[in-house]
Amino acid sequence: MRKPSTGSFLQLALIALALAFLAACGHRGGTKADVVQAANIPSSFDVTLLAEKDTQFDYMDAPLTEQDLRSAFRYRKDEGHPLSTVLLKRGEKQRVRKEHISALLRIAGEMDFKVYLLENSGQIAELQAR
């Protein structure tokens, strides 16, 4: 039987080291424990909305259109309830669409409140009109 040379051990060690390095560097994305909330994200929100089909929003278990939601927010302000932060989340059967975001940002621009979006990754992002 042939005795392995030092050179082949060195080659195997280098290949193993290279594979370990690639495995460590190839990790894309973090775990939920790696997600850190930004400093400007509030710990609680005044209103939480769910995206529903046909560009509707679920507010207090009622599906509302953009106009109805605007009216509900005006009523909330008239009653003296706070309305400075709104969180938009994915509904049970509907993802958040561009139409949901643009409608909510239009209302936020008129009524002067901030809109946040709970992304699929679990991060919360502040939405701003451009």
Asked whether residue 24 is assigned to any structural domain, the reply reads no
Residue 97 lies in a domain: yes
At residue 115's C-alpha, the angle toward residues 97 and 93, to 5°, is 35
Q: How many domains does the chain have?
A: 1
- Rounded to the nearest 5°, which phi and psi values hold at 12? -65, -40
Residue 48 has pLDDT above 80, yes or no: yes
At residue 86, the pLDDT reads 95
Residue 4 is assigned to a structural domain of this protein: no
Residue 3 lies in a domain: no
* Residue 115: inside a domain: yes
User: Does residue 19 lie within any of the structural domains?
Assistant: no
Question: What number of CA atoms fall less than 13 Å from residue 75's CA on the CB side?
Answer: 6
66-94 pLDDT, tens digit per residue, is: 999 999 999 999 999 999 999 999 998 88
Pairing between β-strand 85-89 and β-strand 47-52 as defined by DSSP bridges = parallel
Give the predicted TM-score (pTM) of the model.
Answer: 0.67
Say what the pLDDT of residue 26 is.
52
* Burial class of residue 23 (count of CB atoms within 10 Å of its CB; 0-12, 13-18, 19+): exposed
116 found inside a domain:
yes
Residue 5 domain flag: no
